[in-house]
Amino acid sequence: MWMEETIGTKVNDERAREAISTGASRVATACPFCYIMLDDGVKGAGVEEDQVKVADISIHLLEAIENGERLLANPPTPLLGR
C-alpha cells in the first residue's frame, strides 16, 4: 500500500516526536492511515498511552462526553464589515 522510507527519519517517528513535543496528552486524527502512523511512532518513542493517547477524533469526543468534560474555547470573534 505504501513504501517504507530508505533514508532519513521515518515520517511516523518525526510526526510523533512533533506531537509529543507539544505537551498534548491526546492526539486526534480522522484518518486510519495517520492513526496507525502516529500510534506506531508514539509507541516507538517509548511513551506510555497514559501520557499521550492517539485515537480517532470520535473516540476522544466520546470519552470527553462520558467523562463530563467541557471544552473551554474562546468566544468567536465577529468578522468586521459583514
Structural domain boundaries in the chain: 11-66
pLDDT in tens, 18-76: 999 999 888 999 999 999 999 999 998 988 878 999 999 999 889 888 888 776 666 77
Spatial separation of the C-alpha atoms in residues 11 and 22, rounded to whole Å: 17
Instruction: Work out the pLDDT band at 82, boundaries 50, 70, 90.
Output: low
- From residue 27, alpha-carbon distances to 1, 30, 53, 56 in Å are 24, 10, 6, 8
Angle at 81 between CA 80 and CA 82, to 5 degrees: 95
